[in-house]
């Protein structure tokens, strides 16, 4: 724990795409800091979520599903958008490409739109999940790279649009993070070697690395920050 233990006591948080992966770790961090947290996503999770986190089934590609999950929540202070998919080489198929954009980009916009009035009432904040590939293309991931580039520009646009409501909108851009989705890459020295050679800090990131940086954007220390795309990539993008 690197923050004051009761930092978010009395705060209400929503994390999409939080039944597993980085979203689940962010939800756990918020709960550990005193927030009342609802995690929404598909499936029952991978066992990562702490018992203190409320879990609701929701599909960010469906307005009705998102609204149903939000219906019992009358106020929000913090919203994280972590719902995302990556389908690699299949993304060159147009239907797959559109599916990736529907989850990663349109789903982010859908949640932001749905929570705006609740956040306006509290002067709350949104943190979206962009990616290192928001800045670089990826030959095997055209849908993922395009959608995450879209999330970066969406974040900047909503930061402007929502400022009058007192809502801050920022994003984190994770780099090479050690998760089950990247396990095959981690296990292949021929592919992992060049990544680590280019990363000044010389290691893979962890979900905790991303979560701590993301949580910072919700703290009082970041109260004069909006429209920021914060890289959490070990310096990969500056080399």
- Residues marked active site are found at 144
- 103 backbone dihedrals φ, ψ, rounded to 5°: -80, -55
Q: How far apart are CA 121 and CA 79, in angstroms?
A: 14
Give the 3-state secondary structure of residue 239.
coil
Residue 70's closest CA among 40, 36, 103?
Answer: 40
What would the two tokens of residue 115 be? 């929570």
| Chain centroid, CA 218 distance in Å | 13
As to burial, measured by CB atoms within 10 angstroms (0-12 exposed, 13-18 middle, 19+ buried), residue 43 is: exposed
| Chain centroid, CA 96 distance in Å | 21
Q: What is the full DSSP assignment across 76-108?
A: -SEEEE------GGGGGSHHHHHHHHIIIIIHH
């Amino acid at each position: 724990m690197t923050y004051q233990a009761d930092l978010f006591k009395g705060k209400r948080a929503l994390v999409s795409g939080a039944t597993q992966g980085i979203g689940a770790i962010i939800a756990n961090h918020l709960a550990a800091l005193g927030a009342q947290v609802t995690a929404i996503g598909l499936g029952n999770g991978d066992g990562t979520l702490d018992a203190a986190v409320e879990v609701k089934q929701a599909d960010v590609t469906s307005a009705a599903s998102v609204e149903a999950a939000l219906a019992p929540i009358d106020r929000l202070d913090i919203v994280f958008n972590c719902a995302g998919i990556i389908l690699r080489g299949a993304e060159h198929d147009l239907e797959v490409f559109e599916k990736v954009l529907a989850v990663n980009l349109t789903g982010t916009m859908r949640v932001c739109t749905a929570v705006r009035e609740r956040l306006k009432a509290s002067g709350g904040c949104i943190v979206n999940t962009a990616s290192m590939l928001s800045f670089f293309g990826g030959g095997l991931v055209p849908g993922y790279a395009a959608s995450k580039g879209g999330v970066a520009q969406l974040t900047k646009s909503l930061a402007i649009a929502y400022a009058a409501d007192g809502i801050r909108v920022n994003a984190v851009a994770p780099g090479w993070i050690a998760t089950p989705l990247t396990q095959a890459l981690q296990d292949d020295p021929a592919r992992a070697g060049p990544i680590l050679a280019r990363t000044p800090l010389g290691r893979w990131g962890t979900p905790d690395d991303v979560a701590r940086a993301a949580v910072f954007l919700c703290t009082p220390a970041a109260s004069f920050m909006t429209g920021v795309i914060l890289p959490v990539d070990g310096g990969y993008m500056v080399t």
